[in-house]
Structure 1
Amino acid sequence: MASHMPVNHSLRPLYRGLALLAGLFVLAFGLLGYLDSQGEPLLNQGDASALGLKTNPLFSYASIGAGAAVLLATLVGRNLDRFIDMWVGAGFLLVGTAMLALMHTDSNVLNFTMATCIVSYLIGSVLFTAGMYVKVGSAAKAVAEEKHRHGTA
C-alpha cells in the first residue's frame, strides 16, 4: 500500500486544508469540552457537551492533544503531516469503532453517543485520506512514482 502513495499530488493543498480544518475542529471541540466539563470526574458520563457532541474531561484532553498534533504537523509539513494524519486518522476510526461497541455500557469511558461516533468516523476518514495524498518529494521521485503506478517502470 505505501509503495503506491502519490508524490506531489495536484490536490495536495486541498488535502492539507482539509486536515487543517479537521485539526481546528478537534482542537476547538477539546477546548470547549474542557471548559464545559471542568470539575467533573475524568471518566464522567454526564451532560457536558461541546459543539453539539457529548464529552468528558478525558475526551477533552485527548481531543486537545490530537487537534494540536494535527495542526502543528500540518503547519510544519515536510511529510510529518502525512505521518501524523494517517496515525491520528486511524486512531479516530478505531476509537469510533470501540466506542460504538461500548456506547450503552459502563465502559463508555469517553462519553460517546451515536453522533460522536459518526463525527469520529468523519474526522478519521478526512485525516487518513489527507495522509495518503500529502506526500512531498523531488520531481524525479514524483515521475518515478507515476511510472510505477502506471506499470511503465
Structure 2
Amino acid sequence: MAKLPVNHPARPIYRALAGLIGLYILVFGVWGTVLTWNEPLFARDGAWALGLRTNLAFSLVSVVFGLVLVIGASRRGNLGHYMNLTAGVIFLVTSILMMSVLQTSANFLNFSMSTVIVSMVFGLILIGTGAYDKVGPEEHEEAARDHRHHPVAEIHRRR
C-alpha cells in the first residue's frame, strides 16, 4: 500500500478546499431541492441548479454529501481524511456509471455531461485532499521530515 503523507504542512489548505467543495454541493443540493420539490423523486426534466442538471433524488443526496464533507473538513482528526477519500471514490464511480447511462432511461439522477465532468473533478480533488490531510503523531511527522532532508535526497536534489 502506498504511504500517505502524515501531518502535511498544507493540510489546512486541503481541508479548506474540501470544505468549499462540500459547501458548493450543499448549496447545490438545497437549491435543487427547492426547485424540484413538487416533482417526482426521479424526474428526468430540465431542472438546473447552479449550472448542473438535477432532480429531487440527486438534490437530496447532494444535501447529505455536502453536510458530510463540511463536517469532515471541520474536524481536526482523521475523520475528514477518510471522508474525503471515500467521497472522492464515490464521486468518481458515480460519475463514470452515470456517464455510461447518460442518454438512457437508467439516468435516474438526471445527470448531464456537465454534471459528470464536475463530479469527476470533485472526486479527483477530494481524493487528493484526502491523501494529504492525514493526521498522525509527532514521531511520524519527524520521520517524514527526516526522510525529506536525508543526505541521499539532498544529493539527488542538487543534480
* Normalised-by-shorter TM-score class: over 0.9
Post-superposition offset of 1:73: 1.2
Provide the residue aligned with 1:97 in structure 2.
96
Determine the C-alpha separation between the residues in 2 that align with 1:92 and 1:147: 35
**Which amino acid in structure 2 is aligned with residue 122 of structure 1?**
V
- Does the 8 A contact of 1:49 with 1:55 survive in 2? yes
Post-superposition offset of 1:14: 1.2
| Bigger CA radius of gyration | 2
CA distance 1:39–1:16, shift in 2 (3 Å):
same
Write the deviation string for residues 58-91 of structure 1: whole angstroms up to 9, x where unpaired.
1001100000001011112301000000001110
Determine the C-alpha separation between the residues in 2 that align with 1:136 and 1:34: 35
Provide structure 2 residue ranges, at least 5 long, that are not aligned to the other structure: 153-159
Provide the residue aligned with 1:14 in structure 2.
13
Post-superposition offset of 1:144: 2.9
Provide structure 1 residue ranges, at least 5 long, that are not aligned to the other structure: none
**Which amino acid in structure 1 is aligned with residue 51 of structure 2?**
G
- Does the 8 A contact of 1:38 with 1:57 survive in 2? yes
Alpha-carbon RMSD: 1.8
User: Residue 20 of structure 1 aligns to a residue in which SS?
Assistant: helix
User: Residue 73 of structure 1 aligns to a residue in which SS?
Assistant: helix
Post-superposition offset of 1:142: 1.6
- Does the 8 A contact of 1:89 with 1:128 survive in 2? yes
Provide the residue aligned with 1:65 in structure 2.
64
* Residue 49 (1) aligns with residue 48 (2): yes
Provide the residue aligned with 2:84 in structure 1.
85
Determine the C-alpha separation between the residues in 2 that align with 1:150 and 1:41: 59
Determine the C-alpha separation between the residues in 1 that align with 2:148 and 2:88: 24
Please give the TM-score of this superposition, normalised by the length of structure 2.
0.89
Higher mean alpha-carbon deviation, 110-119 vs 141-150, is at 141-150
Determine the C-alpha separation between the residues in 2 that align with 1:148 and 1:117: 39
Post-superposition offset of 1:143: 2.5
Post-superposition offset of 1:146: 5.2
Number of residue pairs the alignment of both structures matches: 151
**Which amino acid in structure 2 is aligned with residue 18 of structure 1?**
L
Provide the residue aligned with 1:32 in structure 2.
31
Query: Where in structure 2 are the equivalents of 1:105-124 lying within 5 Å?
Result: 105-124=104-123
